[in-house]
Structure formats: C-alpha cells, structure tokens
Homo-oligomer: A and B are copies of this chain.
C-alpha cells in the first residue's frame, strides 16, 4: 500500500461527526498518508458526535468553529497556522444541512429563513472559508481545497429539496473562487460529487434506502463508499493533481453517466408482477 502521499502536508478537515462521516474517513486516510491536520466542527456537532476519538487516534487538534461565522473562521485559521508554524496545504469542506429537509417541509412550502440557512450553512460557508484563508494567505502555493457535493446539483431528486439548490450553489462557488484563487495564489478548488452514502447526514432524506438500492443497481461499479471517497480526496490533496481545478468530479461508481442499467430495469420490471 502506498504511503507518504501527503507527507509534510497540513490542513483543516471540516465536518467529521462520527465514524460514518466521509470527513472522518478522510482524516483517517490523510493520517495514514502522513498529513497533519486540525479537525473542525460546530460546538453542537462536537458534543453530539465522537470527534475527540478521531483526534486521539490521529494525533490532531479539534478546534470548534461555526463555518458560517467569519470570526470563528479567522480564529480557526490563526490557531491552525500557529499549530503548524505557518501556511497549510489543504482544506476539506464536508458541511451541509437543510432545516427544511430536517423538518419535512416540502419544496413547495419552503420557509425562506430556513432556505437562507440551508444556503448559508451548506454553500456560503465554503466561500467564507476560502475568503478567510485567501486574506490570511493561509494556503501554500499549489494548495488544494475540496468540498463534498451530490448529483442533486444537476438532476432533481424528489425529497432532496433545497439541498439540491444548495449543492448547485456550492459547486458554482467552487468554480468562481477557484478562478481567483488559482490566478492569484495557485491554489486549486474542486468539488467531489459522491454516491449517496449512509452517513448520519444522509439518513435524514426520506426513502433513502430505496434510493440507495436504485443507485447501487444503476452504477456499474456499485455505490462508492465513504472509505473510497476518502482515497480519492486524499489524491486531490496530493501533488499529483496540481492542474485539476474548478471541476466537479463524480466519484460514484458510474451513476452520473448512466441512463438505465440492466440490473435496475430488471428490478424495476419486477414491480409489475
């Protein structure tokens, strides 16, 4: 097995709640590949989850921050740069939440303060993180920033509600900031569009089990797991992907390029028996 992919690199990983989180798996893989990192999440998520176990296991520090607060972010980057004695190399944004989804409010009855909250938490936070790091000059040249997305940004999924819109906005912010961050500081910015993953966050979506089954049968290689996503994201932090930027990269076993698979249509046809 490869080692040292991230040797000498340091970063910040946002969004590890518990051992089902993709961010958790990224932290484990990054640690295996010799990266150092700070783990960050909101105070509430830190209390509700088990991030301290991850910090222990990976020898990393947890710093609480609400990624919608530029004050918190300033503080987080300052502390992080202190810990690592200077600029860092990578950032993972794995943050998303919709009060409308949580409360089961349909897309046609949307509560607009909720909608704004969805966008602020799930998309604007990505801009805030980048703007903060840009102004503090917190990333080295050829640094790498990744946010997690989902195919709902391109294709409407019943029940995914305003999170589809938030992911579309997230991906656009990745492109827009990717342009200026690349031009000015040689930092790259990408989003990874991952298979539906049975994390704590994902489990809030209604009918998720049937959707996971459909997605599994549609994807020639099956759904990508959180561990596999972590493998891929670690590569995006490495020096071997320096010229990939402003992209939305599908990590989904092929789902995004399928119109209809044999396995899915055969299952579907059973519904008429």
Output the residue of A220, A246, A265, A269 with the most chain B CB within 10 A: A220
Interface string of A101-145 (1 = CB under 8 A from B): 000001111101001100110001001100100110000000000
User: Which chain B residues border A5 with CB–CB below 8 Å?
Assistant: 2
A220 → B minimal CB distance (Å): 3
Number of A residues near B (Cβ < 8 Å) is: 100
A74 → B minimal CB distance (Å): 14
In the complex the two chains form, what is the Cα distance from A115 to B131 in whole Å?
A: 13
Residue pair A156, B176 in contact (C-beta under 8 Å) = yes
Q: Which of A16-24, A48-56, A79-87, A253-261 contacts B (4 or more CB under 8 A)?
A: A253-261
The one of B127, B213, B232, B241 in contact with A110, judged by C-beta atoms closer than 8 angstroms, is B127
In the complex the two chains form, what is the Cα distance from A104 to B93 in whole Å?
A: 28
Residues of A participating in the B interface, judged by any CB pair closer than 8 Å: 2-5, 70, 106-110, 112, 115-116, 119-120, 124, 127-128, 131, 134-135, 151-162, 164-165, 168-169, 171-173, 175-184, 186, 188, 195, 207, 210-211, 213-214, 219-222, 224-225, 228, 231-232, 234-235, 238-247, 249-254, 256-263, 265, 267-272
